Structure 1
Amino acid sequence: MKSNSLFIASRERHAGSLAISFGLMTLLHQQFEKVAFFCPVVETSKDPDCLFMQSVFDLPQSIHEMTGFTLDKVISLLSEGRKHELYEQLIAQYQELLQQYDFVLVQGMELSRSASTIDFDLNLNLAKHFDAAFVPVLNAKDKTQDDVNKDIEMELHSANDEGIKPFAVFANQAQFPIDDSTQIHTVKDSLIFYLPYLPDLNTPTVKETYEALSGRLLLNDQVPLTRLVKRPVVAAMTTENYLGRVQEGDLIIVPGDRTDILTASVMSLYSRHLPNISGIMLTGGLVPSPIIMALLSGYQGLEIPLISVMTDTYPTAMKAHEVRAQLFSDNEQKNHLVLSLFDQYVHKECLLEKLVQPKAEVTTPMMFEYRLFEKAKQSLQTIVLPEANDERILKACEILLQRKVVRPILLGKPEEIAYRCNLLGIKLDGVEIIDHEESEWKAEFIQSFYELRKHKGMTLDLARDSISHVSYFATMMVHLGYADGMVSGATHTTADTVRPALQVIKTSPGTKLVSSVFFMCFDTRVLIYGDCAVNQHPDAEQLSEIAISSADTAMHFGIQPKVAMLSYSTGDSGHGDEVDKVRQAAQMAKQRRPDLTIEGPLQYDAAIDAEVARQKMPNSDVAGQATVFIFPDLNTGNNTYKAVQRASGAIAIGPVLQGLNKPVNDLSRGCTVDDVVNTVAITAIQAQQMQAQQQESAS
């Protein structure tokens, strides 16, 4: 029997139930439109796990709807012999969620000193009464594989005694080798997943430490608190002896009146020969004098937390050592680490086939991103990112490495990139970094570019100057097969990205025009808008080619193309140069590609709204159900996509270039880290598609 709910629970403390819930919630959101999160028993009414889920997934539930009873209330009801009332109310709240949502993920109570006063397994009882698929989470840390397997057997036996068959078991934080992550493990028909222990995931950040010690931020209260605290270290030596003992990721704990240690620590951040500390904690409630604070505030871009705590030095150090790692919604590095574990060690297909399938065919932004990642992973492509001087690119590169979406290449000086990564707390272990100024490929690229453009008056000196620019160097990498695709534009203009591609890579066979589309991700569907970035005043023939290219792009990304050629008139209701151009373009596109569903001219409301379509064009296969929107000119398209994006809250991914012989994509200079990640994934999928077409043509 398939389930539309899961009940996550652990018998042990610190098993990492939230990480498992987070991974499963991400997976569920990639399949279902509406997913609820429910904690029937919580320690406090403002449960941190519920707050985390609410923030990360932007859940419409209130905290009250996400939680049942506090543990104190549960113990009170049980002591008064009101167990039936407890179950009745929790079941009613759970059933209400089932009625409102496509899927409900329940997270049971984690064992604590208070919970140990309950003399039966409340989680198992609730899972049975909820009739939810049960998912135990085991803490495998510091255990052998034999010990963990025995724990799994005991868990299955306990569940069986209660009449429950576990859906899956997660053995989390395993420190023994997990031999084959592609092998499906089962015990008594229950799926078994072993997730390895990751030190970074289990290392607290400055935020956890800062909050545990009730700290107060000095100087910059907007400083990032996501750096990992590898060691809390008391600085009690002279400056020269102290600096020689500092290690990467140390949290420096020092009395607030030790201005020598304080200023030396801040200065060390700007040295390329000293480790990067995670933060400075000033003890005893002592704050440096105004002149020292003025000196420190003069350091531009100081992004190391300076924290004041009231406790003395050694009690502070002892408490800092006891802080446990947590997940926070604003710590994307840790969150992507959890998701990378699920990507590698959890067989999603096996889980999903045992769940109730979505009733409606919807595509949420998270579903679309999931499909991008899964498709990109099928054949890893090498994508060059020439703007390694931008921190958004570096952060995106870390995510791409963690999630194993592509093989990224960065252009720049390795020592500069390493220094920048250290300042930002980013790990790019294993990424290929190429210094384009010193590369052994430089001479080859200069000669090749000269040969390509000499009929246009190119000289060797001009070719040498061009290849010194990262955009041209990266484009030549793609052209000559050293990379499968390129993504740029975070710090360069669209012209800087597109011009080299047009000069070197050129258009694909049968295509005369390079154009662009945006993937517009709404709450329940993804639409394509084109051309909103490249062609200013396309004529009818160019407009028809944009329509065909956009329809093909839609198909490549799993969107059934129903193409609306937009104008200020619908059907035969209006005339004029602009509407006639669109009418002619639609006719030309239909003639060239009779396999496509194309309609035009259409007004935007008639293209997207079924009710309006019934009035204006009732017999159309496109009106009211369009998925691809082709705008008559750049001015209309660019303004419309931005207006729709801002008014609706839609996520706009792009511009994605189409028509090139090899994939090169442009970023907006206002792009986010997620924009970079998604654009790189799209570029990888384009590269896969082009390679498949080339192989098909060759055969």
Structure 2
Amino acid sequence: MAQSIYITSAEGHSGKSTVALGVLDALSHATPRVGVFRAIARSTLERDYVLEMLLAHDGVDLDYDECVGVTYDEVRHDPEAALGRIVERYKAVEAQCDAVVIVGSDYTDVGSPAELGYNARIAANLGAPVLLVLSGRAGQGEQLGSSTARTPEEMGQIAGLALTELTHARVGLLAVVANRADPDQIDAITASIGSAIAEAIPAADAASVPVWALPEDRFLIAPSVRGVMRSVDGHLVKGDADLMTREVLGVVVAGMSMVNVLPRLFESAIVVIPADRTEVLLATMLANASGTFPSLAGIVLNGPFPLPESIDRLIDGLDSSLPIIATDMGTYETAVHVMNTRGRLAADSQRRYDSALAMFERYVDTEELRRLLGLARSTVVTPLMFEYGLIERSRSDRRRIVLPEGDDDRVLRAAATVLSRGIADLTILGEEIEVRSRAIELGIDIRSAQILSPFDAVHVHRFAEEYERLRAHKGVTYAQAADTVTDVSYFGTLMVHLGLADGMVSGAAHTTAHTIRPAFEIIKTKPGVSVVSSVFLMALADRVLVYGDCAVIPDPTSEQLADIAISSAATASQFGIDPRIAMLSYSTGESGSGAEVEKVRTATALVRERAPQLLVEGPIQYDAAADVAVAAAKMPGSEVAGRATVFIFPDLNTGNNTYKAVQRSAGAVAIGPVLQGLNKPINDLSRGALVEDIVNTIAITAIQAQGESS
């Protein structure tokens, strides 16, 4: 039977979706089959965005329809029949999972003890302990309207009332989370709630119930520009659609003259402008572009007035990326709808998503949470579990990684994730005003990153002197060196060489040769290693394998193959993979002959000679290396055959095609290429890299840097 947890609150707008996401993420890192279940949804006609967000989380493999219990209408019509239907549908989900996160109702009114009582009954009938979410704010909740912070005493009182309902239903209380708590009152709030728990349930049980508090974060509850557009039934008429995920922190209603509007602008505001006040529109756009006024989230043009053709051309000439939304509503109606727009924690807002996970990890003891649920870490390693392991290891001893491509939005988005999750410290190359301005436009937070211009005179002088010294044997002069080191790849590599950064990740917008050529010249290879090679970490459904070399050396010699094998074994060990090396060929053992087989046979002998402690077999065919049954027939008694974890391909053509075939046909996550053999970690990205790929590569580079200093 799956371990389950029922997340409910005592009122509406508590932000329990943030808590549900954090719990789901924590459980996904410990066990491969995690499910979600929405006990009560608003309607069958409108999809539940919280459930959709949770189902989109990596590692959850369930359909939307099977994860919904009943609707509010069904509960109101016949509560008992609805309860039976919830239990029936939950059991179908539970049968497919090791753990299930169950999300309770949303409270269609302000709050109701009866609704909490019904949630408690559901939890009791599902056999799921309750994680109770309490809101630290009173008022408009997740809207742009005003709300006030609750005192510790008020939080204790609300907890006491909620606990009465839970104990009445005889449901187990697993933990309490105070969400959106006053940051200055965290300790007092947890103490007050703890006292309420001690009064409501037996002392022995109360002592085992943890209380965690998540502080208020205005970005988590702020609506996005896209959310505002939905609220006013508008459409985007100008600007960059990629900026629609930016958070809106307030509203400016521009119902006055231009000179009175401009002083009222503030950071991340959305400005409501009547569509026939074109002078105010143009002034607001110019103010946003000037850099001397706050950066706006967007503009809403209200009223059924099309832009004059001349104004439309003028706006196009400004080449502004600021989103401009048009709606037919009047000014008052537009302002009311914008003010009442609720923030949605959704995967399309990377900043909110990252912030929610980072906050949960910081303030909630996820290991304790898993322990309370009786959820031990699985021996199976899924791609998600492996990726999280990378993150855990990288932030255990944070390193500084330099990112040369500060003009690439993917790199900036990845940087925001890395910084919010505490994966690494970052230096981003680029002109500071341009990089930070673009980050603000994208609605991402990279404030803690160092931004460094590759034309910074002090660094250029220092780097040019060092590059001239390193390349003097090639006749490089200071003038030539000064010109070379302003190239971002050379600049970043020299930062690593001189200890200003621990590693570098590049290649999202540059070729592999452009990324690694400076490393060959400056970083150079480790002692005893003749070549720089690469591996892919292939995360399959239940384990992680190492494939090398699939990206660098086209046709390695026997000596180079041996180097690749030894380096790949070291990389495997660095990432917690016990190395058992298969030197691949088209024949197994002594069954074949020919130049290609002999190359692999010689390479295998060299590995055994240079690193006798390693388990290695070769030449061996892929099926004999990977499949126990085939291995028993072709190479019985081998310690590697059928159990190989490190696969060394005879040439780049074979390796590159094989990793891509496995990636596509088996649904494996290919992490890499990870460069190996260099004195310090430099890693290359695919030019088609996704944000997630960049984040993983930064984590890998940080772990490699930890190994270099150990």
Check whether the contact 1:287–1:308 (CA below 8 A) recurs between aligned residues: no
1:260 is aligned to 279
2:698 is aligned to 680
2:409 is aligned to 391
1:582 aligns with 2:572: no
Check whether the contact 2:351–2:445 (CA below 8 A) recurs between aligned residues: no
2:425 is aligned to 407
Shift of 1:358: 5.5
1:247 aligns with 2:266: yes
Shift of 1:179: 6.4
Shift of 1:123: 1.3
2:619 is aligned to 601
> Identity over aligned residues, as a percent?
40
SS of structure 1 residue aligned to 2:252: strand
Q: How does 1:269-418 map to 2 (within 5 A)?
A: 269-289=288-308, 292-293=311-312, 296-297=315-316, 302-357=320-375, 361-418=379-436
SS of structure 1 residue aligned to 2:264: coil
1:127 is aligned to 123
Q: Could you say if the C-alpha distance between residues 40 and 419 of structure 1 is closer, same or farther in structure 2, counting changes exceeding 3 Å?
A: closer
Output the CA distance in 2 between the equivalents of 1:631 and 1:413: 42
Q: How does 1:218-257 map to 2 (within 5 A)?
A: 218=237, 222-257=241-276
Output the CA distance in 2 between the equivalents of 1:93 and 1:9: 18
Q: Which one of the candidate residues 68, 84, 89 is aligned to 1:88?
A: 84
Check whether the contact 1:232–1:250 (CA below 8 A) recurs between aligned residues: yes
Give the length in aligned residue pairs: 684
Query: How does the TM-score come out when normalised to structure 1?
Result: 0.91
2:644 is aligned to 626
* Higher mean C-alpha deviation, range 440-449 or range 486-495: 440-449
Q: Could you say if the C-alpha distance between residues 358 and 570 of structure 1 is closer, same or farther in structure 2, counting changes exceeding 3 Å?
A: farther
Q: Could you say if the C-alpha distance between residues 470 and 42 of structure 1 is closer, same or farther in structure 2, counting changes exceeding 3 Å?
A: same
Q: How does 1:183-194 map to 2 (within 5 A)?
A: 188-194=207-213
Amino acid at match of 1:280: I
1:470-491 deviations in Å (ceiling 9; x for gaps)? 2222222222222111112222
Check whether the contact 1:75–1:118 (CA below 8 A) recurs between aligned residues: no
Q: Could you say if the C-alpha distance between residues 429 and 55 of structure 1 is closer, same or farther in structure 2, counting changes exceeding 3 Å?
A: same
Output the CA distance in 2 between the equivalents of 1:342 and 1:608: 39
1:695 is aligned to none
* Structure 2 runs not aligned, ≥5 long: 138-148, 195-205
Q: How does 1:144-155 map to 2 (within 5 A)?
A: 144-155=151-162
Shift of 1:595: 2.7
2:99 is aligned to 103
Q: Could you say if the C-alpha distance between residues 66 and 298 of structure 1 is closer, same or farther in structure 2, counting changes exceeding 3 Å?
A: farther
Output the CA distance in 2 between the equivalents of 1:254 and 1:589: 72
1:697 is aligned to none
Output the CA distance in 2 between the equivalents of 1:12 and 1:172: 12
Check whether the contact 1:206–1:279 (CA below 8 A) recurs between aligned residues: yes
Q: Could you say if the C-alpha distance between residues 69 and 382 of structure 1 is closer, same or farther in structure 2, counting changes exceeding 3 Å?
A: same
SS of structure 1 residue aligned to 2:559: helix
* Structure 1 runs not aligned, ≥5 long: 693-699
CA-based RMSD: 2.7
Q: Which one of the candidate residues 434, 440, 454 is aligned to 1:422?
A: 440
1:29 is aligned to 28
Q: Could you say if the C-alpha distance between residues 115 and 179 of structure 1 is closer, same or farther in structure 2, counting changes exceeding 3 Å?
A: closer
1:176 aligns with 2:195: no
* Higher mean C-alpha deviation, range 573-582 or range 270-279: 270-279
Check whether the contact 1:364–1:522 (CA below 8 A) recurs between aligned residues: yes
2:225 is aligned to 206
Q: Could you say if the C-alpha distance between residues 447 and 639 of structure 1 is closer, same or farther in structure 2, counting changes exceeding 3 Å?
A: same
Q: Which one of the candidate residues 487, 497, 500 is aligned to 1:482?
A: 500
Output the CA distance in 2 between the equivalents of 1:14 and 1:512: 61
Output the CA distance in 2 between the equivalents of 1:229 and 1:601: 61
Output the CA distance in 2 between the equivalents of 1:665 and 1:119: 53
Shift of 1:387: 1.7
Shift of 1:157: 5.2
Amino acid at match of 1:257: D
Output the CA distance in 1 between the equivalents of 2:608 and 2:675: 22
Amino acid at match of 2:514: D
Amino acid at match of 2:89: Q
Shift of 1:310: 2.5
Q: Could you say if the C-alpha distance between residues 611 and 537 of structure 1 is closer, same or farther in structure 2, counting changes exceeding 3 Å?
A: same
* Higher mean C-alpha deviation, range 398-407 or range 143-152: 143-152
Shift of 1:686: 0.8
Amino acid at match of 1:113: D
Shift of 1:99: 1.9
Shift of 1:26: 0.9
Check whether the contact 2:7–2:131 (CA below 8 A) recurs between aligned residues: yes
Check whether the contact 1:38–1:104 (CA below 8 A) recurs between aligned residues: yes
Shift of 1:251: 1.4
1:507 aligns with 2:507: no
Output the CA distance in 2 between the equivalents of 1:317 and 1:55: 32
1:209-232 deviations in Å (ceiling 9; x for gaps)? 111222223357954421111222
Output the CA distance in 2 between the equivalents of 1:575 and 1:264: 78
Q: Could you say if the C-alpha distance between residues 58 and 257 of structure 1 is closer, same or farther in structure 2, counting changes exceeding 3 Å?
A: farther
* Higher mean C-alpha deviation, range 594-603 or range 258-267: 258-267
Q: Could you say if the C-alpha distance between residues 245 and 117 of structure 1 is closer, same or farther in structure 2, counting changes exceeding 3 Å?
A: closer
1:12 is aligned to 11
Output the CA distance in 1 between the equivalents of 2:374 and 2:648: 37
Shift of 1:3: 7.4
